[in-house]
Structure 1
Amino acid sequence: MLEDFDIAEEVRRHPGIVAGALAVVAGVAIGTLLLSQRTGPRRYEELLERLDPRGWIDAEALRRRFDDISRGVAEGVETLGERAEEAGDDARHGARKWLKRGRKAMSPAKRRRYAQAARGYAHDAGEKARMYADGAGRYARDHAKEGGALLAVATIAAAIGAAALESRRPDSRVRRIAKF
């Protein structure tokens, strides 16, 4: 007998009983809320203020946060540029030093060794520059993900706020959907 019990079918058969039961449960919940308040109606107003989606997101704080993120990324890229420039200067200086030593009277084999050492020094400096660039890219990607998450939260809050505002209108579709 219980295997054939379908809640949806019972609701379709007895909509008045289900609506009445839901109304009684909602009435008891509201009554309990109102009667359990210690400080009077102000507590109920506080609850309504907390449920108001317009106060959930501080748009100015988000704007400042995005400004801070963009400023941080710009400073990171600027620092990366300075580090790459320093690495290039070091490589140039090292190469010149090796070339000056190599120009003095020395054998061609020794010159090749110095040239090879200079190329190795330039290669190492290039690797450092690539490493700094990779670090700046990771930094920017992490902050872009954080900004995307904040944007998703703001979008969801805006949708909830729009539904709340829509439900206040007299010709609201949201209100019509919620009616039984």
Structure 2
Amino acid sequence: MLDDFDIAEEVRRHPGIVAGAAAVIAGVAIGALLLNQRTGRRRYEQLMDRLDPRGWIDAEALRRRFDDISRGVADGVETLGDRAEELGDDARHGAGKWFKRGKKALSPSRRRRYAKAARGYAHDAGLSARRYADDAGRYARDHAKEGGALLAVATIAAAIGAAALESRRPDSHVRRIAKF
């Protein structure tokens, strides 16, 4: 009779009884943990404070740092635009000198046309520089968010690893909490 007993089959036959028994055992364990704690600051609260990742990282400092980075990128965009404008001016000046050196004198209308084309090239270069800088800023913000998420996951993994290492020590506080 005892050889025919299969635990998995009994659980399949009586799922409500198994779930109820598991709930009762979990309730008894939680009750024992709560009733076993002493007055004052409780061990459970101490453990939860140690495992709370919000206290590990200064999120406000990280937020300020990322704001500084985005502000620096925006300032870089302005500097890049000014530099593109200066390069356009230099190109326009060089083109004017090149056309003045030729054997034939340029007519004023042709000179205006060349100057307009040079301004257009400078304008287009400035727009491209601004667009590239905006893309770089967007890329930096996205990677900052991903980095924050990875940092949170790494912190949680470190907390789990620290709890596992501490539970192996003979004078472990984690092991004492588990023994109620």
Structure ranking higher on relative contact order (CA contacts 8 Å, 6+ apart): 2
- TM-score norm. by structure 1 comes to 0.48
